[in-house]
Structure 1
Amino acid sequence: MFEGEFAGLDAIYQTGKILVPKPLKAFSYGKTYCLAMEHKEIGSLENGTLLGEQLADLHLDNINLIRNKQKNSFVGSENSDREPETRFGFPVRTSCGFIPQNNQFTKTWEEFFARKIDDQLAIIEREYHDMKPRQLWNQFLPKISSYFEGQEILPSLLHGDLWGGNAGECSSGPIVFDPAAFYGHHEYDLAIATMFGGFPSSVFKAYHKKIPKERGFENRQQLYQLFHYLNHWSHFGGGYKSSCMSILKSL
């Protein structure tokens, strides 16, 4: 049950770009599933600037590996022993909340993200018998490519569920945990970071000093927030329906 979270924590840990509790072992004891990890005393986030810088470094890590390989300059580079991931997805299933995520690799971000939305809509249809979100999404799909027009989207290793409750501060600095990791568009991680209380503005200011906003950023943020509102509808019920419908109608 915790194999996906173990793999996500380990992938982030191996980059050395942002602090996570080091995962030790995922195991079961009878019907109880467990994840053992390094102990950290975690309090509220204090250094938002450093978190923003480190999150940008995490997102740039795989992108830099790809670009270095394209330039045939791996030999002697800092990450010469690591191969980049050129696809979108993740080697194992993870969970966002309690809902398993289909992380089967795709060649394009557009295909991977559209599938994430499709999976959430299937849950809404099955559990709440509501077809209207699917109808609105299908109306939008023919123009989804316009949201990525002019963008070179290379896979970044993402936390995947980076709301304010999944980050804090320990004696070593900012720390993140409880990921739903996969390789995707770096902007995706910022969408939930502005929801449900969000993070201080210092996080985003520091992040965008390293990764500036590109044209269409705000529209894509709304698109990516749609996944999280649908996911919350799937988890917690129709209280999130209005937010989902508002975004779908505005796309």
Structure 2
Amino acid sequence: MKALHHELAAAISHATGMTFMVTGTQAERGGDISQAFKLDDGSRSFFAKCQPAAGLAMFEVEAVALAELAAANAVRVPQVICHGMAAGQAYLVLEYLPLQSQGDAARLGRELARQHRVAASRFGWTRDNWIGATPQPNIWRDDWVGFWRTQRLGFQLRRAAENGYGGALQRDGEFLLAHLDFFFDGYTPVPSLLHGDLWGGNHGFLADGTPVLFDPAVYFGDRECDLAMSELFGGFAPDFYAAYRETWPLDAGYAVRKALYNLYHILNHANLFGGGYATQAARMAEQLRAQIR
């Protein structure tokens, strides 16, 4: 560990142009994939995440994603300091932001709506990335329904089949893939800059109430995807939704499409963790199929 801290300190010193010597460390929450800790030198602090060497590509694309969100000048994200290899491990170093669970939720809603106004000409992103530990393909496409069919829902259904989740899940899933247009009758999404993994654990607030987003899975897609995931596991205050809708109202069909979008994440959880998620995914697919006339 001493070698790792020494090499991280050297990398931080080089990136910031100011000598940094580690005098203290503290374990931090880093998700299911990474080991995370706070590094101190008595006057400055940084947040570091480490993984085995194979995780370097994941950190590289996360750094690009954070830079893209920062350029939107909307919701604050941690500044990237440096990333690379140290003591045989992949690392990503960010500015340290002391976060709390409560803050200006209405501001988060307004700023997320502003982030979603950052648009592209197509759906996808410049890089493939990950949703948790699962690869997430982002090949550019002109049509949203085709993107969702091939690179989101269809992709997870194929992985589910490989993991032994067949039967009604695959039957109803294939039916949904063939009839996705039903959910977009009269609704034409625009390619919006998405966080991509907007569950409650990936946001927080500074002491002054400023909202912060982190751990993104960025791409340009239907803005409803971010809103849908925010509702999947809870953790967002009512003021967040009210302020978002006031800033940029949602289409009435969102109430049904949010289940379609969240099926992607429940399938991903089934593929990663198993358990009851596959049963939940099958139930969601069945209910969505029942909506189609």
Q: Shorter-chain TM-score: which interval?
A: 0.7 to 0.9
Ranked by relative contact order (alpha carbons within 8 Å, sequence separation 6 or more), the top structure is 1
* Structure 2 equivalent of residue 114 of structure 1: 149
Confirm whether residue 35 of structure 1 aligns to residue 92 of structure 2.
yes
Q: Deviations over 1:188-223 (max 9, x none)?
A: 001110122331111101000011121311111010
Answer yes or no: is the 8 Å Cα contact 1:45–1:167 preserved in 2: no
Aligned-pair distance for 1:119?
A: 1.3
Answer yes or no: is the 8 Å Cα contact 2:78–2:214 preserved in 1: yes
Q: Distance in 1 between matches of 2:79 and 2:155?
A: 30
CA 1:34–1:50 in structure 2 vs 1: closer, same or farther (change >3 Å)?
A: same
Confirm whether residue 21 of structure 1 aligns to residue 56 of structure 2.
no
* Structure 1 equivalent of residue 177 of structure 2: 141
Confirm whether residue 6 of structure 1 aligns to residue 63 of structure 2.
yes
CA 1:120–1:142 in structure 2 vs 1: closer, same or farther (change >3 Å)?
A: closer
* Structure 2 equivalent of residue 60 of structure 1: 117
* Structure 1 equivalent of residue 121 of structure 2: 86
Confirm whether residue 96 of structure 1 aligns to residue 131 of structure 2.
yes
Answer yes or no: is the 8 Å Cα contact 2:100–2:207 preserved in 1: no
Return structure 1 stretches of 4+ with deviation > 4 angstroms. none
Q: Which amino acid aligns with 2:277?
A: Y
Aligned-pair distance for 1:132?
A: 3.5
- 1:136-175 equivalence runs, <5 A: 136-171=172-207, 173-175=210-212
Answer yes or no: is the 8 Å Cα contact 1:59–1:186 preserved in 2: yes
* Structure 2 equivalent of residue 79 of structure 1: none
Q: Residue 206 of structure 1 is aligned with which of 225, 230, 243?
A: 243
Q: Distance in 1 between matches of 2:158 and 2:174?
A: 13
Q: Distance in 2 between matches of 1:56 and 1:245?
A: 32
Q: Give the gaps of 5 or more residues in structure 1.
A: 63-84
Answer yes or no: is the 8 Å Cα contact 1:45–1:174 preserved in 2: no
Q: Residue 127 of structure 1 is aligned with which of 163, 167, 185?
A: 163
Aligned-pair distance for 1:129?
A: 4.8
Q: How much identity, in percent, do the aligned residues show?
A: 32
Of structures 1 and 2, the larger Rg is shown by 2
CA-atom RMSD, angstroms? 1.5
Which shows bigger deviation, 124-133 or 153-162?
124-133
CA 1:118–1:131 in structure 2 vs 1: closer, same or farther (change >3 Å)?
A: farther
